Structure formats: structure tokens, C-alpha cells
Amino acid sequence: MCRRTDPGPFTIALDSLSWLLLHLPCTALCQALCALSHQHSRPGGSCLAEPVRVLGLLHEELHGPGPLGALSSLAQTEVTLSGAMGQASAHILSRRPRQRPALQTQWFSILPDFSLDLQGEPPLESQPHPDPHTPPVDPTAHVTFNLHLSKKEREAKDSLTLPFQFSSEKQQALLRPGPGQATSHIFYEPDAYDDLDQDDPDDDLDV
């Protein structure tokens, strides 16, 4: 493998990672790509040189999820192209250290002279258009229960007293019994097996 002599930034373009995957194991290719991208030290050991950018083209329909996932984990920026010359899109996934991955979509078209015509939004023919002749769908049309109450049902609901709800009069009667009401008392007579020692309540247990 050759070593760089110019400290300036440069990019290594690999026009077919798919061809390399057909002739090399996936692990060997990943190790080679890591070695290329980390060649940012000078022969003397200093790290003043700019890091190497590696640009690779991969046909994802030719490979399984294993190699695709391994190569995707190495990339800082992943661009997925789709469409045709007249209408295409690029889904750009950017990964930065200590940041969330950022995903954006760029629409473009390729002109006859192979230049790019960048578009800020998808073309009108690719955007879904609602049919004006189609009536809107009512989501409550086919439910098996009633979502609204009639006037009679609402009056019956408001007049219903739930069993766990007490009126203020009943609360006062329960909390403050009157002088004529009987009060209850609990009489307890300890037996010989009761342990009344509060300092060691588990004294009778063999622990």
C-alpha cells in the first residue's frame, strides 16, 4: 500500500465496492477501508496531515444485509440514490460523533449534458394529490359503540350518584358522630403467648 506524501486533503474513489466484495471477504474489505481512511499521519509520526476521504459506490441489490450493514457502519455519510435521469432523489444520512444521525432528501434531475438540476422539493407529479371527487372518510361511521350521548342519556348520567362518592352531609355524619349515636369499642385481652415486648418483637422467633 502506498503512503501519502502531500499533507493536503484528498479523496480516494472506489467505483465498485460490489466488485471488491465478489473477490475479497467482507472483513478484509472493511479492514482495508479503515486503513485507508486512517492514513492521516506523516512518515515521521506526526498527525498534521488531513484525513483521507474514501468514496465508494455499492450496488445494494447485489448483496445481503450482512455486508451492507458492515459497510454502512464504517461510513460517516451514506447517500442512497433512486429514480431515473429525469427524476431522481438522494437520501443523505450523516453521522457525526456525539450527535444524532441527520437524514435529508435532495431531489434532482440529470440534464442531457450530464449536469445536475437540483430541486428544493419533490416534483409535483411525485406528490400525492387527493381526489376531489372522493368524499372524506368518517372514522366513526362503522364503530360498534356510540361516541355521543343524547340529552336524555346525559341527564341520566349527571343525576347518577356513584357508590364511592359521598355528599358533604354524609361525610360529616361519618367523621363527626352526634351525641345520640352509639360508638364502638374494641376490648382485647392478651393471652400467655402474646409478645408485648416492643424492644424485641421477634424474641419468640427462632432466628
d(CA 9, CA 7): 7
**pLDDT tens per residue, range 133-175:** 667 777 777 777 777 888 998 898 888 877 777 667 777 776 7
C-alpha cell at 196: 408485648
Q: How many CB atoms lie within 10 A of CB 71?
A: 20
Domain boundaries, the chain: 8-74, 76-123
Q: Are 166 and 175 in contact (CB under 8 A)?
A: no
d(CA 103, CA 35): 27
Tell me which residue has cell 364502638.
184
Q: State phi, psi for 65 to the nearest 5 degrees.
A: -70, -25
C-alpha cell at 114: 450530464
Q: How many CB atoms lie within 10 A of CB 72?
A: 14
**pLDDT tens per residue, range 6-61:** 666 778 888 888 888 888 898 888 888 888 877 654 555 555 456 788 888 888 88
C-alpha cell at 49: 496531515
